[in-house]
Structure 1
Amino acid sequence: MQWNVVTALALLAHYVSAGPAFMRFACNQLLVERSDPLGSPGISPSPHLHQIVGGNAFDISMDPKWDLSAKSTCTSCTFTEDTSNYWTAVMYFRSRNGTMKRVPQMANAGLNGQNGGMTIYYIAPYDGKTNVTAFRPGFRMIVGKPGARSDVAKDRGVLGLSFRCFDNDGYGGAPGTGKDTRHFPKKTCSQGIRANIYFPTCWDGKNLDSPDHQSHVAYPADGNGNRGGACPASHPVRIPQLFMETMWDTRQFNNKAEWPADGSQPFVFTTGDPTGYGQHADYVFGWKGDALQRAMNAGCGVSCPTLKTQSMAQANACQQKKRLTESYEGWVPALPGNNPIR
């Protein structure tokens, strides 16, 4: 069965009806640049390239005291009250002759007209009754280990990171339902690759951040949070599960004659990661007022009457001018920043 939008939307509707309430919306590409205000604050350029979405107050340094909703004049997200920033490393294709090219992104199912970026979800607890406490101004977090090169599943900082290979066997269901891999897919994916990133769902209730941007949050004891387990005593406050999907359009790179001669998979993250285990993402909260709490209380889904929305064209128009003169397009001899692949 060929994967297509109709199939994807039908299955999405099934998961919405069968699972917890979750809010799903597009955040289009705001900027692609070597900037990282959490991992490398104040450093320009940062060590590796990121794709960034959300409010246009994004900067190389972001003071936790900033009110992003006041500093932003637009957002690349569907809901105009979300001026948060979300960012991930960028994927490149490495050809047989050693040259590389940035992998473009494509719109997710039902989000026609989206210019790259990501699909953002805020998921309520899976029991359908537990209340959540929305993030507060100044809240930020990172999930994943950029330096990971092997399956460190026991490391609780990387739970909930995976990839889905879209092939001719159909959509395959939601992340975590049997077809995901923690590493880059090792075969051609005729319809592209989706990166899945689940953030922790438990908070210590005190710290809006921590030195590693991870210790103030935690996953439930039974896994990555999409099973509805109880929060640990050290992190007792249930927060919405932030889930990010990036649709990498790898279709133009499916000619195996162009893959490395040893037959290894050809994709790398801009950290120099050829495995996919180093997948990671960053989040800085920037919702206006109590908008996120209202949306979670209302059980919002793909639509949310309690929030203000904008058209895809308006969201696409919110872009930030690059601070750097580096070009990331076309074939290049090395990753941005000359990061070694290892």
Structure 2
Amino acid sequence: MEGDIGEQGSCTTCAYTEDFSNYWTAALYFRHENGSYKRVPIYPNAQLGYQAQNATDIRGGMTIYYTQKDFDGNGDQYITAFPPGFRMTVGSPTTNTRNGSVPGLRYTCLQTILTRGYETPDFPKEPCPAGIMAIHHFPACWDGKNVDSPDHQSHMYNTNVGGFREAKPCPASHPVRVPQVAYETMWNTTVFKDMWPKDGSQPFVWSFSDSKGYGTHGDYLFGWKGDALQRAMNDSCMFHDCGSPGMQGILKTQTVAEMNACAVKDFIGEETEGWLNELPGQSMSM
């Protein structure tokens, strides 16, 4: 997709009506002892309950954060919003070692739906009582010139230190501080708790065949309309104070029903639900 995608979409699944950005991570699958696979369902972030009525009806489990500094404050540094056409990725599907993993790409074994703090670079080794949260922190230093690069990463510089802590200062080569974008995806692995392999092996695998978790990665395509994101970065609001249904804020919002009414048409037609003999795409010829 080329150009300003914020002007191409007709609806958005985001709570903020001016956010038409594209957010992507791979799908997670459970691998049964008999060799078959089933897609792991996702569920809404419990924190959304503070923002939207009937939050449990939200279809999806990815929560997107744009922080200026950290979870405790906005800081006093000017944050430059991404320009139209901007895109970036973080991580790589070819990473297969712990040492090669990128800071900020982590997992949390959820003891409850509100568990936060303890993160690992690889998949949890035991069943998690409330599922697995996959976390993707993107770099926050931009070269100030290119909206993309051949590898979708060279125009950015990663000074992330992990968690939702403030990233380190930007280098001269990438001097422009942009929002610290982060994804949290809640995977409901609890539906497979009675199918855990008898030998105790870790049974989850990304759709691109990674069973260790080090290859986790995310894609970001900026699509906020007009100056909406810059307005938010210039404001002192935090979290739901920036706007939520029934509350005045710097950003416009929509209801859960309106969010759910927006959907993307399936252009592939490949079966991805139910028990599969192989991961989707494995039998497709290029």
TM-score category (smaller protein): 0.7 to 0.9
Residue 293 of structure 1, aligned match among 230, 236, 243: 230
**SS in structure 1 opposite 2:84?**
coil
Query: Is residue 107–residue 116 contact of structure 1 (8 Å, CA) maintained in 2?
Result: yes
Q: What letter matches 2:19 in structure 1?
A: D
Instruction: Name the residue aligned to 1:269.
Output: 206
Instruction: Name the residue aligned to 1:180.
Output: 119
Instruction: Name the residue aligned to 2:136.
Output: 197
Gaps of 5+ in 2: 49-54, 243-248
Q: Does 1:104 align with 2:41?
A: yes
**SS in structure 2 opposite 1:254?**
helix
Residue 167 of structure 1, aligned match among 111, 118, 125: 111
TM-score (norm 2): 0.88
Instruction: Name the residue aligned to 1:302.
Output: 240
* Superposition deviation, residue 145 in structure 1: 0.9
Instruction: Name the residue aligned to 1:86.
Output: 23
Q: What letter matches 2:147 in structure 1?
A: L
* Superposition deviation, residue 117 in structure 1: 4.1
* Superposition deviation, residue 261 in structure 1: 4.4
Note the alpha carbon deviations across 1:194-242, whole angstroms, 9 max, x for none. 001100011111111110000111122x735823421112111111000
| Whole-angstrom CA distance in 2 between matches of 1:278 and 1:200 | 17
Q: Does 1:218 align with 2:160?
A: no
Query: Is residue 127–residue 196 contact of structure 2 (8 Å, CA) maintained in 1?
Result: no
Instruction: Name the residue aligned to 1:315.
Output: 259
* % identical aligned pairs: 51
* Superposition deviation, residue 118 in structure 1: 0.8
Note the alpha carbon deviations across 1:253-306, whole angstroms, 9 max, x for none. 112xx3334321100000100011110000001010110000111133223211
Instruction: Name the residue aligned to 1:327.
Output: 271
Instruction: Name the residue aligned to 1:75.
Output: 12
Gaps of 5+ in 1: 1-61
286-295 or 119-128, which deviates more: 119-128
Work out which structure has the larger RCO, using CA pairs closer than 8 Å and 6 or more positions apart in sequence: 2
Q: What letter matches 1:211 in structure 2?
A: P
Query: Is residue 118–residue 244 contact of structure 1 (8 Å, CA) maintained in 2?
Result: yes
| Whole-angstrom CA distance in 1 between matches of 2:232 and 2:281 | 40
Q: Does 1:242 align with 2:181?
A: yes
TM-score (norm 1): 0.74
| Whole-angstrom CA distance in 1 between matches of 2:46 and 2:29 | 23
Instruction: Name the residue aligned to 2:92.
Output: 145
Q: 1:110 to 1:171 in 2, by over 3 A?
A: closer
The two structures, once aligned, show a CA RMSD in angstroms of 1.7
* Superposition deviation, residue 159 in structure 1: 2.1
| Whole-angstrom CA distance in 2 between matches of 1:289 and 1:171 | 34
Q: What letter matches 2:192 in structure 1?
A: F
